Amino acid sequence: MARDTRGQAIKLVSVVVPAYNEARSITSTLLEICAYFAGKPYAFEVIVVADGDDGTRELVKELALRESWLTVIGSPERRGKGRGVREGIRLAKGDIVGFVDADNKTPIEEFDKFEVEFIHGADVIIGSRGLRESRVERRQPFYRRVGSHLFSFGMHAIVGLKQFSDTQCGFKFFRRTAADDVFGRQRIDGYMFDVEILYLASKARYRIAQVPVRWRDDGDSRLQLIRDNLRNLVDLLRIRFGRVRA
C-alpha cells in the first residue's frame, strides 16, 4: 500500500455526496463510486446528504439496506449544500474525507490524481476547471460562463484567494486533521461554503494542492439569479468581514 511523505497509508476514504432532488442521477453516481473504490487497496464509505422531496432519500435508503458502505441522512427541506457537506463530514470516519457532486460532473476516477498529491504530503486537494491541463468536456451555457467570470472577479476582490483559479468545483478532499479543523469552523450553509473552507484552510496554512480535473456540465442549474446571487454576496462579506472564524 502506498504511503505518503509522513509514512501514513490510506486506510479509509469517506465520500460525502450532497444531493438536493437528485433522484434522476443519484443511483448511477453511487454505483460508479462503489465500483471505483472497490478496486482500491483500502476501505471506503459514502455518506449521502439527501435534502428534498423527489424521492432521492428513499432511493438511497433502499440501496443502503443492501450496501454496508452506504449511509443516508437528510431532510425534506432545502437546508443548503454547505450545511449538508458539513453534516456529512461530521459523520465521516475516514482518514481521507471529501465531497463530490451528486450529478457526477467530475468522474470519480479523477481521485487517482488526488492519491498522488496525498502521497506527496498535501493536506487539502481541490479539483479545478481553471488550470491549463483541465478538461471541460461539456461547457456551461454562455451566460453562465459570463456569470462565473464576474463571480471570480468579485470573490477575489472581496475575499482574496487569488491563488485559486476555481473555488467552486465540487470535488474536494481533505486529510482528516484538516477536515476536522476546517469544517469545525465552517458556518456558511449555501454555495459560498467552498470559498469559506478555502479561506479557512489558507489562513491555517494547510498545504493545498490544485489538481486539473475532467468536468462536464449537466445543464441542470438550481441558481435563482437575483435571490441566490444576493445571498452569495452577503456570504462573501460574512467570510471576509463577519463572524466566520479564521
Query: Which one-letter amino acid corresponds to residue 237?
Result: L
Q: What is the pTM of this model?
A: 0.91
Which of 138, 122, 135, 139 lies closest to 173, judged by CA? 122
CATH annotation of 12-241 = 3.90.550.10
- Tell me, what's the pLDDT at 222? 63
* Separation of alpha carbons 67 and 234, rounded Å: 41
- Tell me, what's the pLDDT at 9? 84
Sheet holding 96-100, edge to edge: 70-73, 43-51, 12-20, 96-100, 171-175, 124-128, 208-212
- Tell me, what's the pLDDT at 74? 97
pLDDT, averaged in runs of 10, over the chain (246 residues):
61 97 96 97 97 96 97 96 97 98 95 96 96 89 76 92 95 98 96 97 98 85 69 93 60
Report how far Cα 125 is from the mean position of its chain's Cα atoms: 10
CB-based contact 15:47 (threshold 8 Å) = yes
* Separation of alpha carbons 69 and 63, rounded Å: 10
- Tell me, what's the pLDDT at 220? 62
What residues contact 142, with CB distance under 8 A and at least 6 apart? Answer: none
Domain limits, the chain: 12-241
- Tell me, what's the pLDDT at 23? 95
- Tell me, what's the pLDDT at 228? 76
